[in-house]
Chains A and B, each alone.
Chain A
Amino acid sequence: MKTRKLLDKLVAYLDGDARKRKKEKDEIKAVLKKLKRREKKLKNLLDETKDADKRTALQKEIDIVHAQRKKGVRLLKA
Chain B
Amino acid sequence: MLRRILLPVIFLILAYGFWISPDFKVIAAGVAIFLFGMLALEEGFKAFTGGLLERLLRKTTDKLWKSLVFGVVSTTLMQSSSLVSVITISFLSAGLLGLAAGIGIIFGANLGTTTGAWLVAGFGLKVNIAAYAMPMLVFGVILVFQKSKALNGIGYILAGMGFLFLGIAYMKDGFDAFKETLDLSQFALPGLLGLLVYTLVGIAATVIMQSSHATLVITITALAAGQVTYENALALAIGSNVGTTITAILGALSANIEGKRLAGAHLIFNVITGTIAIVLIKPFAASVDVISAAIGIAADDYTLKLAVFHTLFNLTGIVVMLPLIGRLVALLEGSLKAKAKHISEPRYLTESAEAFPDTAVEAVRNETLHIYENSRDIIASGLYLHPADLTSEAALNERIAASVHGSPTDIQAAYETRVKPLYNAVIEFISRTATGWEQQQMADLHWLRNANRHLVEAIKGTKHLQKNLSIYVRGDNAHIRDEYNRLRLQIASVLLLLEQLRNGEDADVAILALDGIRARLERGDEAYTDRLYAMIREHRITPQMGTSLMNDTGYAHDIQRDLMGMAETLFAGPERELAPAQRKLQLDEDEMADALGERAASNDPGPPPGKADGA
Measuring CB to CB, which residues of chain A are less than 8 angstroms from any residue of chain B?
Answer: 24, 27-28, 30-31, 34-35, 38, 41, 57, 60-61, 63-68, 71-72, 75
Contact = CB atoms under 8 A, between A and B. Distances in A.
B125 to A, nearest CB: 41
B393 to A, nearest CB: 10
Given A61-B516, A64-B515, A71 B581 contact: no
B578 A64 contact: no
Interface of B: 505-506, 508-509, 512-513, 515-516, 519-520, 575, 577-578, 580-582, 584-587, 591-592, 594-597
Contact of A71 (B506, B585, B597): B585
Given A24-B580, A67-B592, 14 more contacts: A24-B584, A30-B575, A30-B578, A31-B509, A38-B513, A60-B596, A63-B595, A64-B515, A67-B594, A67-B595, A68-B515, A71-B585, A72-B584, A75-B585
A65 to B, nearest CB: 7
Contacts of A66: 595
Given A64-B587, A65-B512, A68-B512, A31 B592 contact: no
Given A38-B509, A61-B516, A68-B515, A31 B596 contact: no
A44 B597 CA distance: 22
Nearest to B594: A67
- 5 A-B pairs with the lowest CB-CB distances in the bound complex, closest first: A67-B595, A27-B581, A61-B516, A31-B581, A34-B509
B591 A27 contact: no
B592 to A, nearest CB: 7
A25 to B, nearest CB: 9
Contacts of B513: 38
A31 B511 CA distance: 11
Q: Which of A28, A30, A31, A71 has the most CB of B within 10 A?
A: A31
Contact of A68 (B586, B596, B597): B586
Nearest to B518: A64
Given A31-B585, A67-B587, A60 B509 contact: no
Nearest to A69: B585
Interface centre among A30, A38, A68, A72 (most CB of B within 10 A): A68
26 contacts: A24-B580, A28-B581, A31-B578, A31-B582, A31-B585, A34-B508, A34-B578, A38-B509, A57-B520, A60-B516, A60-B520, A60-B596, A61-B516, A63-B595, A64-B516, A64-B592, A65-B512, A67-B587, A67-B591, A67-B592, A67-B594, A68-B512, A68-B585, A68-B587, A71-B587, A75-B584
A38 B511 CA distance: 13
A27 B410 CA distance: 45
B595 A35 contact: no
Nearest to A26: B581
Nearest to B580: A27
A64 B582 CA distance: 14
A30 B595 contact: no
Nearest to B513: A38
Contacts of A68: 512, 515, 585-587
B596 A64 contact: yes
A61 B580 CA distance: 21
A27 B582 CA distance: 9
A68 B506 CA distance: 15
A28 B509 CA distance: 11
Contact of A28 (B508, B584, B596): B584
Nearest to B509: A34
Query: Which of A24, A38, A75 has the most C-beta atoms of chain B within 10 angstroms of its own C-beta?
Result: A38
Given A38-B506, A68-B586, A27 B577 contact: yes
Contacts of B586: 68
A60 B519 CA distance: 9
Contacts of A24: 580-581, 584
Nearest to B586: A68
Contacts of B578: 27, 30-31, 34
Contacts of B575: 30
A72 B591 CA distance: 13
Contacts of A31: 509, 512, 578, 581-582, 585
Of A30, A38, A64, A75, which is in contact with the most chain B CB atoms at under 10 Å from its CB?
Answer: A64
A64 B595 contact: yes
A35 B512 contact: yes
A76 B431 CA distance: 38
B519 A28 contact: no
Nearest to A68: B585
A27 B587 CA distance: 17
Contact of A63 (B505, B577, B596): B596
A71 B575 CA distance: 20
Task: From B520, B592, B595, name the one whose CB has the most chain A CB atoms within 10 angstroms.
Answer: B595
B227 to A, nearest CB: 53
A41 to B, nearest CB: 8
Contacts of A67: 587, 591-592, 594-595
A34 B512 CA distance: 10
Contact of B585 (A60, A61, A63, A72): A72
A77 B243 CA distance: 60
A71 B508 contact: no
Nearest to B595: A67
B512 to A, nearest CB: 5
A67 B509 CA distance: 15
A2 B516 CA distance: 49
